[in-house]
């Protein structure tokens, strides 16, 4: 699995819940949401494009930050 980091313009718990909802619907993902820093770290076999499109379904501004190295 590749770990990817995304910026998602989340301002509240509702925003992070929306992210959780769309990612669960996509399936095959493990993720951590860092609400204060507006980051979502996703562990998945899906392509970056697929993940980004999925995050954009929340209606939030989302962008790809890059691969996160797994220690």
Q: What is the pLDDT of residues 1-36, one digit of tens each?
A: 679 999 999 999 999 999 999 999 999 999 999 999
28-62 tens-digit pLDDT = 999 999 999 999 999 999 999 999 999 999 999 99
CA 60/CA 16 separation, integer angstroms: 10
- Out of 3.30.70.100, 3.20.20.70, 3.10.20.90, 3.10.290.10, the CATH code matching 1-66 is 3.30.70.100
How many degrees, rounded to 5, is the angle at CA 16 between CA 10 and CA 29?
120
C-beta atoms surrounding 9 within 10 Å: 12
Query: What pLDDT shows up at residue 69?
Result: 72
Backbone angles phi, psi at 55, to 5 degrees: -65, -35
What pTM value is reported for the model? Answer: 0.91
Structure confidence at residue 6 (pLDDT): 98
């Amino acid at each position: 699995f590749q770990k990817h980091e995304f910026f998602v313009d989340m301002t509240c718990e509702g925003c992070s819940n929306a992210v959780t909802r769309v990612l669960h619907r996509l399936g095959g993902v493990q993720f951590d949401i860092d609400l204060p820093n507006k980051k979502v770290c996703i562990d998945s076999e899906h392509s970056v494009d697929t993940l980004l499109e999925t995050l954009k379904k929340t209606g939030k501004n989302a962008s790809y930050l890059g691969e996160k190295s797994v220690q």
